[in-house]
Amino acid sequence: MLTQVIRVGNHYDYVTDFMLETLIKSKEIVKFKSSTGWVTIGAYPISGDDRLAVNDAIFVREYLRAHH
């Protein structure tokens, strides 16, 4: 399945779901679209580490737990 993302430099793109965590960790994206709306990387801590997101922290936390 593809996920819509906004890369650094404000470029829209679609990536496969399994690439999302890698892109978050490498800071290559600034936002991605979840089923409940856009998630902005960089504002609220998730799972006590350096991965950060805004406005949909529960979705991101569950997504990251499911993919570890």
Domain limits, the chain: 2-66
Decide if 31 contacts 57 (C-beta within 8 A): no
Q: Half-sphere exposure (CA, 13 Å, Cβ side) for 38?
A: 11
pLDDT at 43: 59
pLDDT at 50: 45
Query: What are the residues whose beta carbons fall under 8 Å from the beta carbon of 13, sequence distance 6 or more?
Result: 4, 5, 6, 7
pLDDT at 42: 74
Query: What are the residues whose beta carbons fall under 8 Å from the beta carbon of 23, sequence distance 6 or more?
Result: 5, 15, 29, 32
**Consecutive sets of 10 residues in the chain, 68 residues long: mean pLDDT of each?**
93 92 91 87 57 51 65
pLDDT at 12: 94
Element (DSSP H or E) covering residue 5: strand 2-7
pLDDT at 26: 92
pLDDT at 55: 45
